[in-house]
Amino acid sequence: MSDLLTIADKTYQSRLIIGTGKYKDFNETRDAIETSGAEMVTVAIRRTNIGQNADEENLLDYIPPEKYTILPNTAGCYTAEEAVRCCKLARELLDGHDLVKLEVLGDQKTLYPNIPHTLKAAQALVDDGFKVMVYTNDDPIVAKELEAMGCVAVMPLGSLIGSGLGILNPHYIQLIKEDANVPIIVDAGVGTASDAAFAMELGCDGVLLNSAIAHAGNPVLMASAMRKAIEAGRESFLAGRMPRKAYASASSPLEGISR
Amino acid sequence: MNLTVNGDTLTLDGNTITDLVAQLGLTGRRLAVEVNREIIPKSQHGDVALNEGDVVEIVHAIGGG
């Protein structure tokens, strides 16, 4: 069955997007990503260390942009201006690659998105030709706004970044998905494989996660679990679940019982 | 000349961004460079002359979610 995810005119077999932070080393990062089947991976943009470790290894040697779609994020940005600047640096760094993950954060305790600044940055980036995948809250009206601006994917949080608390507001995620004409990707909060499957069963187009794999006891094994969970959740959604009933309904025929 | 590079002062023995990148041992790395908050495309790193007091930012990709 052909069931591809399309983001900004590019198609992906995998509906899992993986972050590259918090791994033990680059080998583990690479092994987890390969095992997860992800074709798109996020990276952060930071100052290069000056005057030390000139031979320091480079993340992009382990996850080559020729093989993966690199999704630079604006993590750590608390204003629209910082986020726009970060995206411009990323575009230069990646030779004109213009797909970005916009996240403008509200405070350090929750890393909850600052929506006024997110909207402002999204507009500026779209106007500048960026293809914006945007981290947002689970507000259906904000999601619609971001889509109307021209964002190529809207990415509501399941719960707080790095919390592993799962999908806390499934009904609102479903409302967002119901009305959307761009991919809806649950970004943040997934803690374990069942959370990822649940997000997909809600009808979401994909899941973006980092800590759930990187902070698992065995990250590469969890990457394998996530791959299967995303596939299982997607197939389950497409298959259509049985109706819930208040009372039992026997699976075996009631007639012909020897008495 | 004296520059501020990623927040630290540095004395450059040269003129261009290419010279600076070489002095830092970063030649050939995948980097982006800003001078006084303006991004300088890679293609111009050999041409753009730096000036005393310039504030330079050099960034690269690291792990992130």
CATH of the domain at A194: 3.20.20.70
Question: Min CA distance, A252 vs chain B (Å)?
Answer: 48
Q: In chain A, positions 113-132, which contact chain B (CB-CB < 8 Å)?
A: none
Mean pLDDT of chain B: 94
pLDDT in tens, B2-26: 999 999 999 999 999 999 999 999 9
* Residue A202 contacts residue A173 (beta carbons within 8 Å): yes
pLDDT in tens, A28-67: 999 999 999 999 999 999 999 887 666 678 899 999 999 9
Q: Per-residue pLDDT for A252 more than 70?
A: yes
The reply to whether A244 falls in a domain is no
Give percent of chain A with pLDDT exceeding 70: 98
ipTM: 0.94
CA distance A128 to A162: 30
Q: pLDDT higher for A79 or A49? A: A79
B28 touches chain A (CB under 8 A): no
A93 touches chain B (CB under 8 A): yes
A67 is annotated as an active-site residue: no
Beta carbons of B63 and A54 less than 8 Å apart = no
pLDDT in tens, A154-212: 999 999 999 999 999 999 999 999 999 999 999 999 999 999 999 999 999 999 999 99
In the CATH scheme, what is the homologous superfamily, with its name and number, of domain B1-53? Beta-grasp domain (3.10.20.30)
pLDDT of residue A92: 96
- Provide φ and ψ at A194, rounded to 5°: -65, -30
Beta carbons of B26 and A54 less than 8 Å apart = yes
The reply to whether A152 falls in a domain is yes
B41 touches chain A (CB under 8 A): yes
B64 touches chain A (CB under 8 A): yes
Give percent of chain A with pLDDT exceeding 90: 92
The reply to whether A256 falls in a domain is no
Domains of chain B, residue spans: 1-53
Calculate mean pLDDT across residues A211-225.
Answer: 97
Q: What is the pTM of this model?
A: 0.93
pLDDT of residue A259: 86
What are the Cα distances from residue B51, in Å, to A178, A216, B47? 55, 49, 13
Give the SS3 label for residue B52: coil
Calculate mean pLDDT across residues A23-27.
Answer: 93
pLDDT of residue A254: 87
Q: How many structural domains comprise chain A?
A: 1
The reply to whether A257 falls in a domain is no
What are the Cα distances from residue A219, in Å, to A29, A97, A146, A222, A226? 9, 29, 33, 5, 10
pLDDT of residue B59: 96
For residue A111, give its domain range.
3-237
Q: Which of A101, A120, A144, A245 is catalytic?
A: A101
Calculate mean pLDDT across residues B31-58.
Answer: 95
pLDDT in tens, A80-90: 999 999 999 99
